[in-house]
Copies of this chain bind each other. A is one copy, B any other.
Amino acid sequence: MIDDRSIQDFMKREQSEDKRQHILAQGAELVHRQGFNNTGLQEILKAAGVPKGSFYFYFANKEAFGIELVDFYESQFRASATPILDDDSLKPLEKMRRIFDLFHDFFEAQGFSRGCPIGNLAQEMSDLSPAFANRLRQSIQGLASFYNTFMKQAQDEGDIRPDLDTAEAACFIVAAWHGSLIRMKVEKNREPLERFLNFVFGTVLT
């Protein structure tokens, strides 16, 4: 039976989850733009429009908040990729390439700044916090597995050379992607991303 009390509890939980997601969204934007250690807690509170006590109601500390940002960035990635994944007219390697194209356009719109939020946090935080490193390791391994799904399908369909260890190649491709985004950040142009695509689709996979 649904009484007034349980409806009120439900709505409170919903509002609480909205507030939590709001703080994460504001923090995700700041951290992506300027780095984790370079973003103070005060700045996050100000952007989210919440007092310190409210932040600590949702997150144990800044590190725990940062680790939850990884989930947030992963959700953003999944949401961006879904229309491409759902397009049955595309072959596996075309899907993979479309996902990279999507990010190229995103970075171009940002003046070739920011880079991969997961790669950035991995570089910045994995020596400073084992908990952060664990979560980021899962995330980077997950990204490689995600690309490997396309690559295995493409290999079954004869679009990738049969002797390639696709799981290993997917890990190498994610590494080359993270490094190419570092180069993009210093060059501030599209060349490093185009070079990445040329070598991945023209050399590694063929």
Chain A residues within 8 Å of B, Cβ to Cβ:
33-35, 37-38, 113-115, 119-120, 122-124, 126-128, 133, 136-137, 140, 168-169, 171-172, 174-180, 182-183, 185-188, 192, 195-196, 198-199, 203-204
Residues of B within 8 Å of A34, CB to CB, are 127-128
Bound complex: CA A44 to CA B119 (Å): 27
Looking at the complex, which one of B136, B175, B185 makes contact with A176 (CB distance below 8 Å)? B175
Since A123-B123, A140-B183, A175-B182 are in contact, a sample of 18 more A-B pairs with Cβ atoms closer than 8 Å, ordered by chain A residue number, is A33-B127, A35-B128, A37-B37, A119-B123, A122-B185, A122-B186, A126-B185, A126-B186, A127-B185, A133-B188, A136-B186, A168-B199, A172-B180, A175-B176, A175-B196, A176-B176, A203-B204, A204-B204
Looking at the complex, which one of B169, B188, B195 makes contact with A172 (CB distance below 8 Å)? B195
Integer count of this chain's copies in the complex = 2
Please report whether the interface of chain A is mostly helix, strand, loop or mixed according to DSSP.
helix
Bound complex: CA A124 to CA B185 (Å): 9
